[in-house]
Amino acid sequence: MLSGVIVKALSGYYYVRSSDGDVDEETVQCRARGIFKKRGESPLVGDRVRYSLTENGEGTVEELLPRTSELIRPPVANVDLAILVFSVSEPDLNLQLLDKFLVHIEHAGIPALLCLSKQDLEEEGEETAEAKAAAESVNRIYGALGYEVFGTSSRKGDGVEQLQERLRGHLAVFAGQSGVGKSSLLNAIVPGLDLETNEISSRLGRGKHTTRHVELINIGGGLVADTPGFSQLDFHELGIQDLSYCFVEMRELSPSCKFRGCTHVHEPGCAVIAAVGEGTVAKSRYDHYLLFMEEMKDTKRRY
């Protein structure tokens, strides 16, 4: 059997690129063996697989090799770096949504870096002061937590080369709010890629979902999964007890709490609540934690 990586999944087919071949070589269109469905397994883009060739030049995925990571939304395996793309304007920077993305990425155990796109609009738009303040708050709050923050402009090319170099050697996923310029950024990183992009809707303040499926893109020394945009995320795969672990600062402070299993909501001697009062934990992050906690409780009650 041959070894390869699934680089695209579409309409029941899996497109596999040989592990031994050139990254630009043709992929083999494969079907998956029926045994996967019986086991409740589903091949994902990014999966390392063993496959066989059929007489008609297509192939069959025979075996899925062990995964190092797995994302449910977007459905990608073996990602080792997540780039969360948020614009400084059009649409406005949404820290609540950013924290929700970080919760999911932390839960998956994948290192994340933040990319603030459309930096050129910050200079030209009417909301310059607000956009600059938002960008500064991201650098202040999330930089202190150890997250790398990149500023980019797809139109001007600012920060694009530095981001491409950071992606070298990784299988990375681009994720973020719809309309923030993920496809434009990838087009800037890989000239001639020509991913479909759409303008922001002025009425809704968000972009249309321009990416219809997950596909791995060779960016020269690394692979990036271009994924469908998101309008919302939920916490179905996350337990309430896991939530605080997904906030870096709470994970570090939890051992100092008076009570084991502290929820950081009302307990006396809580190190997290004390840190919020002292200003060493950002109040916006703590407020989002409480909001997500309530959202998860509501979801549990409904189901």
Binding residues for Zn(2+): 257, 262, 264, 270
Rounded Cα–Cα distance for residues 119 and 14 (Å): 37
Side chain identity at residue 303, one-letter code: Y
Q: 297 vs 124, 241, 284, 303, CA distance in Å?
A: 42, 11, 20, 10
Query: Residue 266: which residues within 8 A CB-CB, separation 6 or more?
Result: none
- Residues 106/245, Cβ–Cβ less than 8 Å: yes
Q: Cα separation of 46 and 17, whole Å? A: 10
Residue type present at position 203: R
Is 70 buried (19+), middle (13-18) or exposed (0-12) by CB count in 10 A?
Answer: middle
How many angstroms separate the CA atoms of 188 and 260, rounded?
48
Radius of gyration of the chain (CA): 21
Q: How far apart are CA 273 and CA 263, in angstroms?
A: 10
Structural element, H or E, at residue 289: helix 283-302
**Token pair of 267, please?**
């307990």
What phi-psi label fits residue 214: left (phi over 0), alpha (psi between -120 and 50 degrees) or beta?
Answer: beta
Give the residue ranges of the annotated binding site for GTP. Answer: 117-120, 176-184
Identify residue 152 by its one-letter amino acid code.
T
Q: Which helix (H) or strand (E) holds 301?
A: helix 283-302
